[in-house]
Structures are given as structure tokens and as C-alpha cells.
């Protein structure tokens, strides 16, 4: 039976991890929520209405590594850099949701539906990195297209929700939106979590830009996608945009393949991929939207793809519209599924190896 610590348990991703562990596909004996000292002792199962019992909240300095098998880190890169290797050195498998270790070659960067084989053996570092939330939904759609006709080039724009900025980002958008509606003539609020005011606005840059003008978020999308897909030279470029949507990231993706395809063939190969839902024309709008695509739990676990179009002037060029819940698909669910892979491969938790 598994003993799992969730570090950053009161944040938006940590809360989702706690909920998902209640229905995990592998046996979980104990869940230890870890948060800041001001949250110590809280009963998060009762507060969040969870289906399973949790330990009372403890703090990182009081967490005994000998009492847990896995730590899922959901508290940001700075804390991960402080704590992850110490926990891994004590024998804990660390699954980190931050950007702290994604570039290290000795740390697997895992999307179970795409490159889960990298966890056939326990990583010597004891660390597993969760990719960026936008990367995860992107590669899950690109992977079957590469198998169908080979990826030649990818150009995309992301439309990223406020929940990517955590509890503070959600509160900031809600408060600023209400204030604007109450007084549309008021001056814009001071830049906060997102660098610029987000309410009724678009911010076409996420994170600091380098000398070429590309932002940190855009560079992560490129480097991580290439690594996960095993295509280190794949031409891929992106514009990352923060939008005034509370939940779910969206992406407009233009893919050039090596061979001609039809829209029907693309839809069929996507529909056959695990965890993807294709929204076809007929009987509905033919595309997913953040407000409606991720309402039910079964929908939150999926990558939704619609508006599949083959360019009439280039039968190798395909447009996709991709929507996914950035807190589940893009973070908590991917982390829990990575733990499940380790269990299935037999080196964590004592179960038999996966086929």
C-alpha cells in the first residue's frame, strides 16, 4: 500500500491531487497533506469534501521522509529546488509539478500516454518531472498525428487560463472583473500575478522574454515537446497568451505533416488515442470550449480536440483546436498517472510489472 505526501496541498493543483488520489487506480494507504505553517492541523478532507480520509496538514520541516513512499510537489520551483533532492535522497519518489527539473537529462519528463516507457525503471535521481500544462495537452494530440503521417512543423498559439496563476491568479481575475463591471471607467488595476491587468484583457506574453523576444512559457513549450516526443529537431514555435478565462487552457495548432492526410483520417486517429475526445461537426458546434468541455469529472480527464481542418492548398497542413483542464490533464492527473505507471511497472508498491 502506498503512502503519498502532497506538498502544496492547499494550492489549486494540490487540492486536485488530493481529490484524484481518492479514486486512484492503485492502492493508497495514506495521504499526507503538506502546506505552510498557517495551515498546519487543518482537516482538508472535510474542508474540500473529499471521499477519503487524510492526515491532518503538516509542514515540510515536520514531514518524515521515512513515512512516505511518494511526494507530489505542487508548490512552485523555488520550494522544489529546496526540498525535492533531499526527499529523493531519503528514498522517496518525487513527482514535481514545477519547472525546476524539467531540463535535467537525469530526470524523466513524463506524459504517460506519450512516453510512459521512460518510467520502466526507477530513475536514479529519484525525481520525475511533470511537463508544463500547455505542453501536456499539445503532445497528447501531436503524438498520434506523428504516428499517422510524421510531424514536419508545428506552429501554435496558446490561450491560457487564470488558474495557471494559482489561487492568487483566480482571485485577482474575479475581483478585477467585478470591479470593472461595477465601474467600467475606473483606471486599470495595478499589474499583479500576470504582469498586466487580465480582466477583460489579453496578455500576449507569459513569463520574461529572452533577447529574441520569445517568452519563458514559449521556450518551455518548444524544449519540452521536442523531448517528450523524441524529436529533438522538430521545428516548433509558439505564442503564449494569458486570457481572462478561469479554467482550461486552449490552443490553436497548425501542424504540417510529412504526408498528405484527410480531415476524416486525422479525426479517426485522434479519436482512437487514449484520453482524447474528438468533437466532430454535426449535432453540435464541432469544437470544445473552456466553459463547457471540462465540467464533469470524466470530461476533465480528457484532451478535447475540434475544428480539424486540412488546408485546401496543402493536404499536409492541418489545423486543430485543443482544450484541456490545465489543473487535471495539465498537472494533477498527469502526476498521479505517473505514480500509477511506476506501480504498474512493478518497482513501486510491490505490484507485478506492466506489460
- Catalytic residue check, 133: yes
Measured distance CA(7)–CA(21) in Å, rounded: 13
Hey, is 76 helix, strand or coil?
coil
106 and 30 Cβ atoms separated by less than 8 Å: no
Measured distance CA(24)–CA(55) in Å, rounded: 17
Query: CA of 9: how far to CAs of 126, 139, 283, in Å?
Result: 21, 27, 41
Of residues 143, 146, 247, 249, which has the active-site annotation? 249
33 and 68 Cβ atoms separated by less than 8 Å: no
Q: Residue 305 corresponds to which cell in the numbers above?
A: 480536440
Residue entry with cell 492502492: 27
Q: Residue 110 corresponds to which cell in the numbers above?
A: 513524463
Written as one string, the DSSP assignment of 123-174 is -TT-EEEPPPHHHHHHHHHHHHHHHHH-EEEEEEEEEE-GGGGHHHHHHHHH
Torsion angles phi and psi, residue 137, rounded to 5: -70, -30
In 57-111, which residue ranges form alpha helices assigned H by DSSP? 77-89
Nearest in space to 349 (alpha carbons), one of 337, 339, 334: 339
Q: Which residues contact 151 (CB under 8 A, 6 or more apart)?
A: 142, 145, 229, 231, 234, 255, 256, 257, 258
CB-count exposure of residue 186 (10 Å: 0-12, 13-18, 19+): exposed
CB-count exposure of residue 163 (10 Å: 0-12, 13-18, 19+): buried
Measured distance CA(115)–CA(108) in Å, rounded: 10
Of residues 133, 143, 146, 279, which has the active-site annotation? 133
Cα-only R_g, the chain:
20
- Catalytic residue check, 17: no
Catalytic sites, residue numbers: 133, 249
Amino acid at each position: 500500500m502506498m503512502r503519498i505526501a502532497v506538498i502544496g496541498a492547499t494550492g489549486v493543483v494540490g487540492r486536485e491531487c488530493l481529490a484524484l488520489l481518492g479514486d486512484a487506480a492503485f492502492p493508497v494507504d495514506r495521504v499526507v497533506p503538506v502546506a505552510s505553517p498557517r495551515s498546519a492541523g487543518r482537516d482538508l478532507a472535510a474542508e474540500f469534501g473529499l471521499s477519503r480520509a487524510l492526515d491532518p496538514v503538516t509542514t515540510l520541516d515536520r514531514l518524515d521522509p521515512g513515512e512516505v513512499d511518494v511526494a507530489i510537489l505542487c508548490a512552485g520551483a523555488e520550494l522544489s529546488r529546496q526540498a525535492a533532492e533531499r526527499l529523493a535522497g531519503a528514498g522517496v519518489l518525487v513527482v514535481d509539478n514545477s519547472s525546476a527539473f524539467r531540463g535535467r537529462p537525469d530526470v524523466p519528463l513524463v506524459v504517460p500516454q506519450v512516453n510512459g516507457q521512460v518510467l520502466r525503471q526507477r530513475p536514479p535521481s529519484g525525481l520525475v518531472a511533470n511537463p508544463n500544462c500547455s505542453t501536456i495537452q499539445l503532445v497528447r494530440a501531436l503524438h498520434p498525428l506523428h504516428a499517422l503521417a510524421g510531424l514536419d512543423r508545428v506552429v501554435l498559439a496558446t490561450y491560457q487560463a487564470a488558474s495557471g496563476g494559482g489561487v492568487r491568479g483566480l482571485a485577482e481575475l474575479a475581483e478585477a472583473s467585478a470591479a470593472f463591471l461595477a465601474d467600467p471607467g475606473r483606471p486599470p488595476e495595478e499589474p499583479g500575478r500576470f504582469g498586466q491587468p487580465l480582466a477583460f484583457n489579453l496578455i500576449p506574453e507569459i513569463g520574461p522574454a529572452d533577447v529574441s523576444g520569445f517568452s519563458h512559457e514559449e521556450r518551455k513549450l518548444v524544449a519540452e515537446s521536442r523531448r517528450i516526443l523524441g524529436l529533438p529537431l522538430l521545428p516548433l514555435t509558439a505564442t503564449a497568451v494569458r486570457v481572462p478565462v478561469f479554467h482550461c487552457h486552449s490552443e490553436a495548432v497548425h501542424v504540417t505533416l510529412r504526408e498528405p492526410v484527410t480531415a476524416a483520417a486525422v479525426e479517426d486517429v485522434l479519436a482512437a488515442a487514449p484520453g482524447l475526445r474528438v468533437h466532430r461537426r454535426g449535432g453540435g458546434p464541432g469544437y470544445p470550449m473552456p466553459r463547457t468541455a471540462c465540467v464533469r469529472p470524466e470530461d476533465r480527464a480528457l484532451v478535447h480536440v475540434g475544428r480539424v481542418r486540412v488546408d485546401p492548398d496543402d493536404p499536409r497542413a492541418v489545423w486543430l483546436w485543443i482544450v484541456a483542464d490545465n489543473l487535471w490533464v495539465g498537472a494533477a492527473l498527469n502526476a498521479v498517472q505517473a505514480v500509477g505507471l511506476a506501480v504498474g511497472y512493478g518497482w513501486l508498491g510491490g505490484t507485478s510489472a506492466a506489460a
